[in-house]
Amino acid sequence: MIRNCKAPVSSSMIMNMRLHVSSAFKAKVAMSRFEPGTSISYEKLHENIDIVRKRLNRPLTLSEKIVYGHLDDPVGQDIARGRTYLRLRPDRVAMQDATAQMAMLQFISSGLPKVAVPSTIHCDHLIEAQIGGVEDLKRAKEVNQEVYNFLATAGAKYGVGFWKPGSGIIHQIILENYAYPGVLLIGTDSHTPNGGGLGSICIGVGGADAVDVMAGIPWELKCPNVIGVKLTGSLSGWTSPKDVILKVAGILTVKGGTGAIVEYHGPGVDSISCTGMATICNMGAEIGATTSVFPYNHRMKTYLNKTGRADIAALADEHKDDLIPDKGCKYDQVIEINLSELKPHINGPFTPDLAHPVSEIGAVAEKNGWPLEVKVGLIGSCTNSSYEDMGRAASLAKQALDKGLKCKAAFTVTPGSEQIRATIERDGFSKILRDVGGVVLANACGPCIGQWDRKDVKKGEKNTIVTSYNRNFTSRNDANPATHAFVTSPEIVTAMAIAGTLKFDPETDYLTAANGEKFKLEPPNGDELPARDFDPGQDTYQHPPAESGSVMVDVSPTSTRLQLLEPFDKWNGKDLEDLQVLIKVKGKCTTDHISAAGPWLKFRGHLDNISNNMLIGAINIENDAVNKIKNRLTGEYGGVPDVARHYKANGLSWVVVGDDNYGEGSSREHAALEPRHLGGRVILVKSFARIHETNLKKQGMLPLTFADPTDYDKIRPDDKISITGLATFAPGKPLKGVVKHGDGSQDIITLNHTFNENQVEWFHAGSALNRMKELQ
């Protein structure tokens, strides 16, 4: 039985800790935000590290220490970077509201009574930016009442903490409350690595992975390679922490970190604030990295102290040797960046790895025909919404105001948490940002994930926006494919919003004051942390009750927002014969292309309804169109989900064929659930992004890759493909694809996979959830 199978840990291994919040809250909620049993066991971490170091007989990187320190079986686990699968015991689970719906629906389906590890839900994705923070939050509570009620009651029923709408963005809340040096945390959002700024290993996953951990089952992760980024020199002037990851993204590209943890080290680390390190780790998701991490240092200690966790800082000091890399440790790849020479960067449009120095972007934009006018500047998001970020942006806004200027572009500000909102309001930053023309939005994701009711341009109108966000895929922010979105630091966003053009380089260019005087903006400045304690604002946390037997979790059978799950069918024991190619995708296909966010977020708890967005953003190689494919049964063209539904209704299973890094971007498992729900069996591509490949496996799909990437060119849009060799499906053993063309000819191709023995059982059972039930 799986029930209540949390691994026992002796009391001698654990130093129980009282985790505090800001001083204003200490008296009334000192333990309320942290579930019973929350503890930090540096002794256990050290014990496991010592076992593994002796076994491997070599120095360990920091990420290896934390990951291997959480092994379920440090004595017997096979450990080989990039090859073996590790079985781990994460300390905590965090879920944002858009993904928590499906995660909790799956947990309910498991039949388990309570979560086995501390877990939280964070309401940050469903709040649409429209007017301003107060009005938008009020409207969101009304529009999403059914979903919020489901998440609140499900949390109460199953022992999960619930951060109400308005609390803030999940990653900022984690940094302020739950992350600490040495913790292993998984979160159902791709930017969970934000916690690496506090010396944590925080990894983004799909909801089914979260269910495993909440069920007390060891969690599987392919043993990561380790990319070292050595930092020398120090940040100064206009250069910010964001420029580090913008530079790294340009070097490694959107798939260069796949299968690896990026570990920052070197003397330059100490010049970066804790929240600055979090910014760098956060956007590491854009290079496909499993996660990113910084070594424990005095900047982290200062942040822990300021956020009411001095006791954790004291323990981390005692165990510092386990929270930094061993001398002489080896990385699989090393990148060196001299922070003293690093220049401000701006990346885009349409992909986060297209890196440009700010000094060059104007000329590049002119050459490529990108709109020079900045229509909107947007600062905030989970990547850049710290006190320091807001202070530095406000310092620039104040200079403009002193010269009688306001922003030429529209300007929005998104605080990362209620604590940040309350503190920047108290300290005057919000007023300065509003006075320069800014609109302060709700403490939520907002435009960063497409929750933006944008009115200033029409769909299809070519325009430029500049953001301090992390991701800038086509249509992501405003559902307009003609919007050219660029990502940069909050400082550069603010400067460009004031100037109104991409051609403005604040290091060299002048502005014209209201009186006609020419002036240059002085480099931004801002305190790392508030001189006074943080103002925690409103208490927005709901702790699960000790006794939840009377709590009811209702899902109406007529709801359009929520739907209880039915188990997927088991494998029938036969090869997959004559799968119809549903669509052959051309070029980049992110999870935004596979399962769009924005207005579709409202259906994240209803699998059938959200499946109507499946692959509607993918480009069909047959006609270079989106959401227009040929139905091979009728001969007519239709939308991708409509054709898939027609195939399913007629008993025809199908396959998607794709290009490189398929499934790049968000962790959303809906991109895997939808194809399974609509009758898909195989996704066949050149290569996968890590999270999406795992999500597909969890739902009983077959994610396969061409052994020879040029075989992609052999597939025609009207082909049928049979997958053979499933009777002996096993780790490391390729499968065969029989590609049947319309003219009667065939191609036989070799198909690789990364399934291990447990994952093969997921396929046999029809899904990982089905397999979990079989083992109860």
Q: Which residues are catalytic?
A: 124-125, 189, 471, 666, 668
Chain centroid to Cα 546, Å, comes to 31
Tokens 């590290």 belong to residue: 49
Instruction: Tell me the angle at which helices 207-214 and 97-110 cross, rounded to the nearest 10 degrees.
Output: 50
In 3-state terms, what secondary structure has residue 255? coil
Q: Output the six-digit token pair for 712.
A: 């992609």
Residue type, 659: D
Neighbour-count burial of 636, counting CB atoms closer than 10 A to its CB (0-12 exposed, 13-18 middle, 19+ buried): exposed
Residue 163, strand partner residues: 122, 541
Phi then psi for 417, rounded to 5 degrees?
-155, 165
Query: 């991409």: which residue's tokens?
Result: 502
Tokens of 75: 């004595």
Q: Tell me which amino acid residue 598 is.
A: G
User: If residue 142 lies in a helix (H) or strand (E), which one and from where to where?
Assistant: helix 133-143
Radius of gyration of the chain (CA): 25
Distant-in-sequence contacts of 546-555, Cβ < 8 A, 24+ apart:
546/36, 548/156, 548/157, 548/158, 548/159, 551/153, 551/156, 551/157, 552/153, 552/157, 553/108, 553/150, 553/153, 553/154, 553/157, 554/149, 554/150, 554/153, 555/105, 555/150
List alpha helices for 271-340, DSSP H.
274-282, 298-306, 310-318
Contact 124, 167 (CB under 8 A): yes
Residue for token pair 């990437």: 709
Q: Which amino acid is at 133?
A: G
Q: What is the largest CA-CA distance in the chain?
A: 80
Write the secondary structure of 661-711 as one string of H (helix), E (strand) and C (coil): CECECCCCCHHHHHHHHCCEEEEEECCECHHHHHHHHHCCCEEEEECCHHH
57: number of Cβ within 10 Å: 6
Q: Report d(CA 142, CA 223) in Å as an integer.
A: 44
The Cβ-side half-sphere exposure at 86, using a 13 Å CA radius, reads 24
Residue 145: enclosing H or E segment and its boundaries? Answer: helix 145-158
Beta-ladder partners of 705: 685, 752
Structure tokens at 678: 């609509």
Residue 245 token pair: 């990851």
Residue tagged 């200690």 (tokens): 301
Q: Three-state DSSP class for 643?
A: helix
Which residue matches tokens 């990346």?
Answer: 347
Cross-strand partners of 758: none
Identity of the amino acid at 769: L
Q: d(Cα 691, Cα 322) in Å, to the nearest integer?
A: 28
Question: Any residues with CB less than 8 A from the CB of 363 and at least 6 apart, and which?
Answer: none
| Ramachandran angles phi, psi of 708, nearest 5° | -115, 105
Beta bridge partners of 122: 96, 163
Q: Indicate the length of the chain as a whole number.
A: 776
